[in-house]
C-alpha cells in the first residue's frame, strides 16, 4: 500500500527539498531506463537487495564467529554485550537497503516530475512542475575517511531559490552522467556541470574540481622547503614521521605479545586462540600502516622540483600505486596548481573535519592531475601552494569553494 503525497506547489517542493537536501532520493548508482512509457531514474533493485542481505548475514554471523574464538564461560556475556548490538546494527542497515526505494520519473512531453520514495509498503508519491527547475552536477559535500572522495552530487534546483535543492543521487561523475544528461534534456538545457572548470593555460583545459582519492589527515603531514633558489622539496613533516613510526612500534609490540601469549598457553596445554587471533590482527594492521606511511604510500612521499634542470622527481610509489622508485616529469607539462576542499565523514574514534588538497594540473595529458598533499591545516597548505606556484611560475586555481 502506497501513501500518496498530493500537491505540486511551492510548499510541496520545500518539503521535498528539506527531506532530500543532504540525503539522496536514489540510493546507489542511478540508472536511466524506460518503464511503461516513462523515463525513470532509479537504483538497480537487485544490487541493493543483495548488498542488504549480505549486511544482514554478516551481522548475524558475528555471534557464530565469537563462538569459535571466545571461551565458553565468557561467550554468553560477550555475545550479549558485543555480539547482539553489532548484529542488530548490521541488520538495521541491511534492512534499510532492502526495503527503501526512491525514483524520479517523467513522461515524454510531460510537465511534471514524479517522485516516489520511502519504505516498502509505506512509500509516498509527489509531483513537482519542471518549468522552474534546473539540474546541477556539483562537487560532493561528504567523503569517506579512507580516501574515496571522487564524489559528486546531482541536484534539482529551483530557479530564484538556489538554497532549495533536492539531491537526486550521489556518486562519481561517471555514475551520474547519464542521469544528468537525461535531466538536462528534459529541462531544455537548464543544467550546469560544476565538477569541471575551464582553464586557460596554453589552451583550454577541462579540469575536474573533485578531490583526488588520496589519504588525508587532521594534522599537517607534508611541508614545502626551498633549499636553494632553483630547488623546492615537498617532504613529510616530523610529526607525520613520528606518527607512522608509532604505528610501527605498537605493531611490532603486538607481535611480541602474540609470541608471549602463544608460549604461555602452549606451556599450560591450553592455547588462547582468541588472544592470539586478536594480537595477530592488530599487529598486522598497525605494522602495515606504519610501513606504508614511512614508505610514502599514505600521502607523504617526497617530491623534488628543480628549475635549473626543468624537471620534478617523485620518490616513492607512483601515482597509480605502483612499485617504489624515482620518476622524472618535465616542468613544462605542468599547467597550473589546484587547491580543493572536502569534508570527511565521522568514523569510530575520529571526528569529521574539513581537509584541503593540493594538486598539480598537467597540460599533457590535458587535465591530468597529480596529488601533492592533503590535510586540514588550511593556512599552511595555502601558503605552501602560493609559494610553490610562485616558484614554478604557474597559476594557482582555487576550487575549494565549489
Q: What is the pLDDT of residues 127-151, one digit of tens each?
A: 888 888 889 888 765 433 333 445 7
pLDDT grade for 317, boundaries at 50, 70 and 90: low
- Percent helix, strand, coil in the chain, to 5, is 35, 35, 30
Q: Tell me, what's the pLDDT at 297?
A: 64
Q: Is the peptide bond before 365 cis (omega within 30 degrees of 0)?
A: yes
Produce one character per residue of 196-223: b if its CB has 16 or more CB atoms within 10 Å, e if not: ebebebeeebebbbbbbebbbbbebbbb
Q: In this model, does residue 387 exceed pLDDT 50?
A: yes
What are the backbone dihedrals phi and psi of residue 328, each rounded to the nearest 5 degrees, phi first?
-120, 130
Report d(CA 126, CA 35) in Å as an integer.
Answer: 18
Q: In this model, does residue 96 exceed pLDDT 50?
A: yes
Cell numbers given for 177? 552522467
Helices (H), 70-172: 72-78, 84-99
Cell numbers given for 259? 609470541
Contact of 143 with 346, CB cutoff 8 Å: no
Q: In this model, does residue 261 exceed pLDDT 70?
A: no
Interval 252-265 mean pLDDT? 71
Q: Which of 59, 152, 143 is nearest to 353 (CA)?
A: 143
Q: In this model, does residue 174 exceed pLDDT 50?
A: yes
Q: How many CB atoms lie within 10 A of CB 104?
A: 26
pLDDT grade for 26, boundaries at 50, 70 and 90: confident
Q: In this model, does residue 1 exceed pLDDT 50?
A: no
H/E element, 305 = strand 302-306
Greater model confidence, 333 or 141: 333
- For residue 388, the SS3 value is helix
Report d(CA 89, CA 5) in Å as an integer.
Answer: 30
Greater model confidence, 217 or 5: 217
Q: Which residues contact 268 (CB under 8 A, 6 or more apart)?
A: none
Q: Tell me, what's the pLDDT at 330?
A: 92
Place of cell 528539506: 18
- For residue 212, the SS3 value is coil
Interval 182-196 mean pLDDT? 87
Report d(CA 209, CA 342) in Å as an integer.
Answer: 11
Q: Which one of 2.60.40, 2.30.29, 1.10.3720, 3.40.50 gives the CATH number of domain 210-235+299-399?
A: 2.30.29
Q: Which of 147, 117, 150 is nearest to 4 (CA)?
A: 117
Contact of 7 with 126, CB cutoff 8 Å: yes
Beta bridge partners of 57: none
Contact of 32 with 179, CB cutoff 8 Å: yes
Q: Which one of 2.30.29, 3.30.1370, 1.25.40, 2.60.120 gives the CATH number of domain 3-47+99-194?
A: 2.30.29
Q: Indicate the pTM of the whole model.
A: 0.62
Report d(CA 360, CA 337) in Å as an integer.
Answer: 5
Bridge pairing between strands 124-129 and 196-200: unpaired
Report d(CA 27, CA 361) in Å as an integer.
Answer: 32
**Residues constituting the chain:** 402
Interval 94-107 mean pLDDT? 80
Please compute Rg for the chain using Cα positions.
26
Amino acid at each position: 500500500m502506497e501513501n500518496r503525497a498530493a500537491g505540486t506547489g511551492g510548499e510541496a517542493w520545500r518539503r521535498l527539498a528539506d527531506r532530500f537536501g543532504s540525503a539522496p532520493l536514489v540510493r546507489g548508482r542511478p540508472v536511466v531506463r524506460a518503464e511503461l512509457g516513462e523515463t525513470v531514474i532509479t537504483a538497480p533493485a537487485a544490487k541493493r537487495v543483495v548488498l542488504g542481505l549480505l549486511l544482514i548475514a554478516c551481522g548475524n554471523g558475528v555471534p557464530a564467529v565469537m563462538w569459535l574464538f571466545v571461551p565458553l564461560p565468557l561467550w554468553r556475556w560477550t555475545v550479549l554485550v558485543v555480539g547482539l548490538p553489532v548484529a542488530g546494527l548490521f541488520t538495521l542497515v541491511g534492512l534499510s537497503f532492502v526495503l527503501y526505494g526512491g525514483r524520479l520519473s517523467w513522461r515524454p512531453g510531460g510537465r511534471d516530475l514524479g517522485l516516489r520514495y520511502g519504505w516498502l509498503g509505506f512509500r509516498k508519491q509527489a509531483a513537482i512542475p519542471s518549468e522552474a527547475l534546473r539540474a546541477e552536477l556539483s562537487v560532493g559535500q561528504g567523503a569517506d575517511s579512507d580516501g574515496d572522495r571522487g564524489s559528486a552530487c546531482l541536484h534539482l534546483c529551483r530557479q530564484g531559490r538556489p538554497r532549495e535543492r533536492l539531491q537526486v543521487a550521489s556518486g562519481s561523475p561517471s555514475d551520474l552522467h547519464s542521469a544528468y544528461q537525461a535531466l538536462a534534456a528534459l529541462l531544455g538545457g537548464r543544467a550546469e556541470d560544476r565538477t569541471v572548470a575551464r582553464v586557460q593555460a596554453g589552451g583550454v583545459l577541462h579540469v575536474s574540481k573533485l578531490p583526488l582519492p588520496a589519504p588525508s589527515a587532521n594534522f599537517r603531514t607534508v611541508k614545502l622547503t626551498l633549499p636553494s633558489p632553483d630547488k623546492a622539496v615537498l617532504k613529510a613533516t616530523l610529526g607525520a614521521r613520528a606518527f607512522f613510526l608509532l604505528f610501527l612500534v605498537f605493531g611490532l609490540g603486538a607481535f611480541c605479545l602474540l609470541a608471549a601469549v602463544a608460549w604461555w598457553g602452549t606451556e599450560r596445554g591450553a592455547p588462547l586462540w582468541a588472544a592470539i587471533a586478536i594480537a595477530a590482527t592488530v599487529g598486522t594492521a598497525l605494522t602495515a600502516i606504519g610501513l606504508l606511511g614511512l614508505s610514502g604510500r599514505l600521502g607523504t612521499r617526497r617530491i623534488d622540483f628543480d628549475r635549473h634542470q626543468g624537471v620534478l622527481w617523485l620518490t616513492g610509489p607512483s601515482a597509480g600505486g605502483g612499485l617504489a622508485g624515482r620518476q622524472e616529469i618535465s616542468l613544462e607539462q605542468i599547467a597550473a596548481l589546484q587547491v580543493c576542499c572536502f569534508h570527511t565523514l565521522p568514523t569510530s574514534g575520529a571526528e569529521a573535519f574539513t581537509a584541503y588538497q593540493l594538486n598539480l594540473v598537467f597540460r599533457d595529458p590535458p587535465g591530468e592531475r597529480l596529488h601533492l598533499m592533503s590535510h586540514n591545516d588550511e593556512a599552511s597548505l595555502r601558503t605552501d601552494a602560493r609559494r610553490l606556484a610562485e616558484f614554478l611560475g604557474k597559476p594557482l586555481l582555487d576550487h575549494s569553494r565549489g
